[in-house]
Amino acid sequence: MSIPLRNTTSRYGLVSQAFHWLIVALILFQYTWAWRIDQAEGIRMRFELVTQHKTIGMVVLGLALLRLGWRLFNRPPALPDGMRGWERWAARAGHWGLYVLIFAVPLTGWLYSSAAGYADFWWGPLSFPSLVEPSEVLEDRLQLVHQSLAISLGLLALVHALAALRHHFINKDDVLRRMLPSWQSKD
């Protein structure tokens, strides 16, 4: 049986899975790229890496918008019946926290770049407008906010992954499997 495009009552559909795993991969790529920027020698290499990092950030922002739109019309599967109240609350809070951070990190990066006086470039001629006037004070503050939110996203994503592994290996339920493309659905 193939994976349906839309979410069902017991699993995420192919579109939701694709958004999830593509955004995960791009965010992991972003952390690697940020580390490479810090290690880069020479202004030209640093500028190239920063431009690529900003471009991927804008791709993440665009995919997050599409993912949120898809989620509005495709309810996620229900949480397992055996989950306790605090676990349900934590799962919902964690998911919405991830959504907020997946939007906030690229938006603060865009603001930070604008405050630094640099346009964000796509691969090619497309550029994004500056959101604020250049300001060294604002640039410093936005850099700190962007980095703090990125660290928060990484930590919350780690908790999310550990919770999924807990469901799979300790609770032995289908929470993790319903987001994996290889699992065959009962629906």
- Model confidence over 15-64: pLDDT tens digits? 999 999 999 999 999 999 999 999 999 999 998 999 899 999 999 999 99
Predicted confidence (pLDDT) per residue in 105-152, tens digit = 999 999 999 999 986 666 666 778 899 999 999 999 999 999 999 999
**Which residue ranges form the domains of the chain, and what is each CATH number?**
14-179 (1.20.950)
Helix (H) / strand (E) containing 128:
strand 127-128
- DSSP H helical ranges for 77-135: 85-116
Residue 134: count of CB within 10 angstroms of its CB = 12
Average pLDDT over residues 57-74: 96
**Which residue, 150, 74, 143, 149, is CA-closest to 113?**
143
Q: Are 11 and 183 in contact (CB under 8 A)?
A: yes
Tokens for 85, please give them. Answer: 């109240």
In whole angstroms, give the CA distance from residue 161 to residue 82.
Answer: 20
Tokens for 137, please give them. Answer: 């004070």
Helix (H) / strand (E) containing 121:
strand 120-121
Q: Is residue 174 classed as helix, strand or coil in its secondary structure?
A: coil
Write phi, then psi, for 121 (nearest 5 degrees): -110, 140
